[in-house]
Chain A
Amino acid sequence: MTLKTPEKSTRRYGKAEGTDYQSPEVWSKVTGKAVYGIDHAMPGMLHGKILRSPYPHARIKKVDTTAAEALPGVRAVLTGTELESKPFGIAVEDELPLAVDKVRYIGDEVAAVAAVDLQTAERAIKAIKVEYEELPAVYDPAEALQEGAPQLHDNFPGNVAWERELERGSSSAAFAGADVVVEESFTIPAIHPAYLEPISCIAVDDPYTGITLHTALQSPDAVRKIVAGALNYPLSKVHVNGPVMGGGFGGRVYGNLKVYILSAMLAIKSGRPVKIQLTREEEFTAGRPMIAAAIKMKMAVKSDGTILGREADIITDNGAYSGQAPWVSKTLSERNDSVYRIPGIKTRVRLAYTNKIPTGQYRAYGNQVANFATESLIDMAAKKLGLDPLEMRLKNCVREGDITVHGLQVGKCGLSECLQAAAREIGWDHKKAGHGYGLSVAIHANGSLVFDKNFRGASALARLELDGRITLFTGEQDYGQGTHGAFAQIAAKALDVRPAQITVESKETKTAPFSTGALAMRQTTVGGKAIQLAAEDLREKIFKAAAELTGEPVTMKNSVLNTMSGRTLELGEIAYHYHNNTSGLNLTGEGKFVPEESDYDESGYGNISVAYSFAAHAVELELDKTTGAITVNRLVAAHDSGRIVNHLTARGQVYGGVAQGIGMSCFEGCLFDEGRMANATLADYKIPTALDLPEIDPLFIEIEDPVGPYGSKGLGEIVMVPVIGAVANAAADAAGVRITDLPLTAEKIYQAMAGWECEQ
């Protein structure tokens, strides 16, 4: 991967201005000063450990904790039966903090202990005796849906966690009138976000303030609500105080709820702070990977390449508990339909319980999973019709003003420009002989208007400090994406001050405004808009206070106020003036971004977001025909994310998202052997190393958006989406055969080329 030196950056923190502004926040990380969750400790802190089920499916007959409780140093032991908790959950309430009657996967939480040190806690866990009665288990989601399969939950008969059947337009007419139909089955394994820092949490129970969770989360407000419910605490008595996060990628939107709830329960029982930190193995075997999917999809196409319709039958693998899987399954099953003009679609999607690891989400929420299927079919259709895959995409891709098959209202849209730019840059018209080339496109929403129809936006506060600096209060978390630097830039632009004068505070839910969270690619567009509005409000208040002080109208430039008569004022002077006149208040701007209600109906038809981002990726790779190994040489990532606030961090997002996309395309996936994850270490769960990545070239098609702050739109999640389809298409172009089962390993490609029957 070539990391090009940004032209404008001066490489000194806080100095580079404009769209290459380098937020001072990064310096606490690169100098090793940032304190991550795993670094945290507290006086009197105990160490918590969780006893997990060794069986995929078993009835708990007896739990004996006598020996564990008798161990010196053990301060609290918890079992499911003593808790009397009600079920909790994210999309579906199907989990208990600790299993009561049954365990449903290898890793299911059975008991928890807190002890004076980790070794004692580990010894105590081993001293707990559990009698199990093994039950038949089911691992394959299609088998789980069949009659007679072992049942996981009494209240979810047939192991159906969620299902949906949907038809829009006339799909049957589309297929009746098609010149060509392409059809294929695709399988995608569960993918773990593999953030570098394992999840950890220190829970503190204080009689006055309540429970405080010291843990880094993308959605602290969402998590504290669930934890308050599980603990039966008032919401205002549960707080989150976030240390620096060692990677999230969607995996820490809700993180690991069991860890937060159990550390809180142990803290309450022991009266001491309790830290639970997952091991890497626990991250893999009891974490929350993105759902695996089996997608059967077909597409009806006219001879000129016009898409007429598409049908899909999708089974997603929930694992033992639901997490966010119903929502991920929904996005997976429909978002790709909106990147093209498709008149009719028909979809059946079923989410099945299996005796495997419960699932969560990962950057792009399943959109990238279906991209593999949709974009493969586009190339298959183009091949069958003798059309150029680029032309076929240009012919069908959505454009400004379109209303898509699911009712998404496409505003500013540079998708066709992205396609042309990516194709031009990769050398689509003068391909190197013997190399494989592939394209793929994506649409992704910027926040959701329909996740909670009553709560669609974001708010922020901008406070003028007495020294003339400005503090922004937001609930939007920055865990490396560069959000806070971008917020400083947005506010700086609204106020006409330097971004380095601005500090962003978001870590404590006690003081930060409420936020839906760092998810759904909503932060720059929705959170940033609130920041812009707060800064504009503060600017007006500063003008008003300055006019009161000087008795004449003022203007502001480069942080300095000028009156008509030529007097200059520093921001600090205004701050003190207001402070003295109000006996201690600070000038504070309020930003409230409240998007209009959506026309979203019961069937899920309607506009779901204030803006949509678009992308087209182009891949060039080489294939070693004697082994089947592919080397992705280059990936051009063309993105319409509106006006880019910060090119430095935007390029960083593209490098990281593409790296994860390459990982999912070529390397990653949870492997299971009778319900046990077989590759539960970073040695065996292979994420790409720097040597495995191509040269990555980000291209930004900067079309100003009317909604986002200063014309900007989101970029974080969409980067990962087109990678999978583009790599798969390039690999098929080079190999002459198509692999429909991720990841695209050398062995699978070689087997397909050699015509071997599938083994293993």
Chain B
Amino acid sequence: MSYLIASSLDEVLTSLRDGSGKARVVAGGTDLYLQDLPYGLVDLSCLKGTTVIEQEDDLISLGSAVTHTAAASSPLVLSRARALAEGCEVIGSPQIRNIGTIGGNVVNAAPAADAAVALVGLGAEAVIIDIEGNIRQEAVENLYWEYNRSLIDSTREVMISLQFKPCMDGEGSAFTRFAARRALALPMVNAAARVKLENGLVKEIRLVAAPVNPAPTRLVKTEELVIGKPVNDQTISMVERSAAEEVEVRGSLLRCSARYRLHLVGVLVSRALKTAAERAMGQGKAGE
């Protein structure tokens, strides 16, 4: 087995080409030991640019090897993409957050990965390059093949960065989760919301819940219901009802029953919307 700490993107792509499907990309590696180790691993985390968080023009861009800790404590993320900071700060434990990456959180393809849910809530797109040098851009929610399996083939594709529009004036985002304990527990449900208000009414909205499907799932019907309405108690109650009606969920012995999970979808989505709207109206904490 080989482990290469790549120093350039070229080196990554060359190594993957040379690996002929037997070498794959690794970033934080927190879940690596849970899987069968591949023949070769190509480590992205020391590449120039993959750990950068920056805003250019109208886009926030995070390198795919940005750690959860870095994302959760970035002033830019905290002020312009609060949902992502909230999602990243509850993943695993401090040790896992210090090495786990947001790119890995997406490519690992767990159905309710906290950073991935927040990214879908924010409307993020992934920039992906393959070993032939083709670059494509894909919405995060479209990167899931099935449960715990990504459409990104890590033996021939590399996610370089994640990009989304920052929350500007009149916009806010929020992330919520509910688990059996306060740390080191997969969520029974997590949710994210991004909302843009104009004259006190919802102009644009994204509502996301998981685990509902293999990918973090947008609640389009509920989103449509909210467009043009003020985010008041009546709307929040309507969202709670509608969100739970819009999705189907599974129950499990280890987490919770389907009925309770459905109830939580309603509660968490409406809570995320309420907080996002407060932030949009500038009623949250300073700088949001």
> A residues touching B (Cβ–Cβ < 8 Å)?
626-627, 629, 667, 671, 673, 678-679, 683-684, 686, 688-689, 691-692, 745-747, 750-751, 756, 759-760
The residue among B178, B180, B267 with the most chain A CB atoms within 10 A of its own CB is B180
Closest CB of chain B to A672's CB: distance in Å? 9
Residues of chain A within 8 A (CB-CB) of B259 are 756, 759
Distance between Cα atoms of A22 and B5 in the complex (Å): 46
Known: A683-B184, A689-B184. A759 touches B254 (CB 8 A): no
A747, B256: Cβ atoms closer than 8 Å: yes
B254, A678: Cβ atoms closer than 8 Å: yes
Which residues of chain B from 180 to 236 have a CB within 8 Å of any chain A CB? 180-185
Distance between Cα atoms of A684 and B253 in the complex (Å): 11
Cβ of B75 < 8 Å from any Cβ of A? no
Closest CB of chain A to B257's CB: distance in Å? 4
Cβ of B263 < 8 Å from any Cβ of A? yes
Known: A671-B253, A759-B251, A759-B257. A688 touches B267 (CB 8 A): no
Interface flags for B248-288 (1: CB within 8 Å of A; 0: not) read 00010110111110011001000000000000000000000
A760, B257: Cβ atoms closer than 8 Å: yes
Residue in B closest to A678 when the chains form the complex, CB atoms: B253
B180, A750: Cβ atoms closer than 8 Å: no
Closest CB of chain A to B45's CB: distance in Å? 24
Distance between Cα atoms of A667 and B3 in the complex (Å): 40
Distance between Cα atoms of A686 and B185 in the complex (Å): 8
Distance between Cα atoms of A750 and B263 in the complex (Å): 10
Closest CB of chain B to A264's CB: distance in Å? 33
Known: A691-B183, A692-B181. A684 touches B254 (CB 8 A): yes
| B side interface size, CB within 8 A | 18
Residues of chain A within 8 A (CB-CB) of B184 are 683, 689
Which residues of chain B from 148 to 189 have a CB within 8 Å of any chain A CB? 178, 180-185
A-B contact pairs, 14 of them (CB 8 A): A627-B264, A629-B178, A667-B180, A673-B253, A683-B184, A686-B185, A688-B181, A691-B181, A691-B182, A746-B180, A747-B260, A756-B259, A759-B251, A759-B258
Cβ 8 A contact of A627, one of B181, B185, B254, B267: B267
A689, B183: Cβ atoms closer than 8 Å: yes
Residues of chain B within 8 A (CB-CB) of A688 are 181
Residues of chain A within 8 A (CB-CB) of B264 are 627
Residues of chain B within 8 A (CB-CB) of A683 are 184
Kindly count the residue-residue contacts between A and B in the assembled complex, taking CB atoms under 8 Å apart.
Answer: 47
Residues of chain A within 8 A (CB-CB) of B253 are 671, 673, 678, 760
Residues of chain A within 8 A (CB-CB) of B182 are 689, 691-692
A667, B181: Cβ atoms closer than 8 Å: yes
Distance between Cα atoms of A671 and B185 in the complex (Å): 16
Given contacts A671-B254, A759-B260, A760-B251, 13 further A-B contacts (CB under 8 A): A627-B267, A667-B180, A683-B184, A689-B181, A689-B182, A689-B184, A691-B183, A692-B181, A692-B182, A692-B183, A746-B178, A747-B257, A760-B253
Residues of chain B within 8 A (CB-CB) of A745 are 180
State the 7 A-B residue pairs at the shortest beta-carbon distance, nearest first.
Answer: A691-B182, A759-B257, A689-B183, A747-B260, A760-B257, A692-B181, A747-B256
Distance between Cα atoms of A760 and B267 in the complex (Å): 21
Closest CB of chain A to B51's CB: distance in Å? 28
Distance between Cα atoms of A684 and B184 in the complex (Å): 10
Distance between Cα atoms of A581 and B183 in the complex (Å): 65
B181, A679: Cβ atoms closer than 8 Å: no
Distance between Cα atoms of A750 and B183 in the complex (Å): 21
Distance between Cα atoms of A691 and B267 in the complex (Å): 23
Closest CB of chain A to B27's CB: distance in Å? 21
Residue in B closest to A628 when the chains form the complex, CB atoms: B260
Distance between Cα atoms of A679 and B185 in the complex (Å): 13
Closest CB of chain A to B258's CB: distance in Å? 8
Residue in B closest to A756 when the chains form the complex, CB atoms: B259
Known: A626-B267, A745-B180, A759-B251. A750 touches B260 (CB 8 A): yes
Residues of chain B within 8 A (CB-CB) of A692 are 181-183
Distance between Cα atoms of A686 and B256 in the complex (Å): 14
Residues of chain A within 8 A (CB-CB) of B267 are 626-627
Closest CB of chain A to B61's CB: distance in Å? 32
B178, A627: Cβ atoms closer than 8 Å: yes
Residue in B closest to A688 when the chains form the complex, CB atoms: B181
Residue in A closest to B261 when the chains form the complex, CB atoms: A747
Closest CB of chain B to A180's CB: distance in Å? 34
Closest CB of chain B to A617's CB: distance in Å? 21
The residue among B251, B257, B258 with the most chain A CB atoms within 10 A of its own CB is B257
Which residues of chain B from 125 to 147 have a CB within 8 Å of any chain A CB? none
Distance between Cα atoms of A745 and B256 in the complex (Å): 10
Closest CB of chain B to A375's CB: distance in Å? 24
Distance between Cα atoms of A54 and B260 in the complex (Å): 33
Closest CB of chain A to B187's CB: distance in Å? 12
Closest CB of chain A to B249's CB: distance in Å? 13
Residue in A closest to B178 when the chains form the complex, CB atoms: A627
Closest CB of chain A to B266's CB: distance in Å? 9
B263, A686: Cβ atoms closer than 8 Å: no
Distance between Cα atoms of A629 and B260 in the complex (Å): 12
Residues of chain A within 8 A (CB-CB) of B260 are 747, 750-751, 759
Residue in A closest to B270 when the chains form the complex, CB atoms: A626
Distance between Cα atoms of A759 and B258 in the complex (Å): 9
Residues of chain A within 8 A (CB-CB) of B257 are 747, 759-760
Residues of chain B within 8 A (CB-CB) of A750 are 260, 263
Residues of chain A within 8 A (CB-CB) of B258 are 759
Distance between Cα atoms of A688 and B179 in the complex (Å): 12
Closest CB of chain B to A676's CB: distance in Å? 11
Residues of chain B within 8 A (CB-CB) of A689 are 181-184
B263, A679: Cβ atoms closer than 8 Å: no
Residues of chain A within 8 A (CB-CB) of B178 are 627, 629, 746
A679, B254: Cβ atoms closer than 8 Å: yes
